[in-house]
Structure 1
Amino acid sequence: MTTHPSRQSTATTDEELFWETRALADLTEAEWEALCDGCGKCCLHKLEEEETGQLFHTNVACRLLDVRSGRCTRYAERFRWVPDCVQLTPAEVRRTHWLPATCAYRLRAEGQPLPDWHPLRTGDPRSTQRAGMSVIHWATPERRVRRLEDHILERAP
């Protein structure tokens, strides 16, 4: 089956359109990983106001995130290096409200389509960066920050 031209996807079969045809819980590990657009926004530090529970986003990247590539430098071992790194699962995605509005996991959990710039639609692994949707060029490496409070963003990325 071919895709509708307006989808602008390079995929041409139902199997290749797994993100549209299967629930998050039914994806293989490889499909789950492919769903990530590599924006790096989930790897930015967040602060929570203890009394109100209000969440504040920062531009400070986890120490493992390479802010030039937008990728984790130790992805396979990230939980050993950063014990509080969040393991996203289909259930966790539904409970986690801090994921970016453009996050493919969040979008699919909400029944929404992937954006036109998503690598699965374009076939280009750098399309997230080319669309200006990644943390590249604006995230600050954790090692350069003294106080997270000084890096709070006015709005969520």
Structure 2
Amino acid sequence: MTPAEWESLCDGCGKCCLHKLQEEEEDGSLGAVSHTNVACRLLDLGSCGCKKYDTRFRYVPDCVQLTAEAVSGLNWLPASCAYRLVAEGKPLAWWHPLVSGDPNTVHEAGVSVRGRVISETRAGPLEHHIVEWPDL
């Protein structure tokens, strides 16, 4: 897959841009992941796209780059994530822009974070923003 083809897998849901909290077990291993409704400060809350995608690491050094190699180890990616689906050999959902031909179907289907999140610049402690959405 070319870099452009790989990038086109992003459905624009914005879920990977939400802050997560991960427990650390007594033995030092990583435990359960808690999802929040707090978005990275670079996420455009309307379009669910990164406002500075090409230079995001300058502003958010710990932003995770979704590579084919990394995807299988990222247990916090939602089940609907196209990167995860491709890695698992599964088909894309009907609302995915590559299937529907329309970048708005991810929002129309209610799969994106549009209207459900706040920016980290306004959030306060992440522990107060844990959510249990069925699609995360």
Common topology (TM > 0.5) = yes
Partners of 1:144 and 1:68 in 2: CA distance: 16
2:51 pairs, out of 44, 68, 73, with 73
2:70 pairs, out of 89, 92, 113, with 92
Structure 1 residue 102 corresponds to structure 2 residue 76? no
Moved more, 147-156 or 111-120: 147-156
AA aligned to 1:119 is: P
Unaligned runs of 5+ in 1: 1-26
Partners of 1:76 and 1:54 in 2: CA distance: 31
Shift of 1:110: 0.6
Closer/same/farther in 2, CA of residues 37 and 95 from structure 1, 3 Å limit:
same
TM-score (norm 2): 0.92
- State the number of aligned residues: 131
Shift of 1:154: 2.3
Match of 2:16 in 1: 42
Partners of 1:31 and 1:64 in 2: CA distance: 23
More helix, by proportion: 1
Provide the secondary structure at the position in 2 that maps to 1:57.
strand
Partners of 1:155 and 1:64 in 2: CA distance: 22
Match of 1:112 in 2: 90
Shift of 1:155: 4.3
Structure 1 residue 30 corresponds to structure 2 residue 4? yes
Q: Which has the larger radius of gyration?
A: 1
Shift of 1:50: 2.1
AA aligned to 1:76 is: D
Q: Which string of whole-angstrom CA distances, capped at 9 and with x for unpartnered residues, describes residues 31-76 of structure 1?
A: 1111110100000000011236221100100010011110100000
- Please list every run of at least 4 consecutive aligned residues from structure 1 whose deviation after the TM superposition is greater than 6 angstroms: none
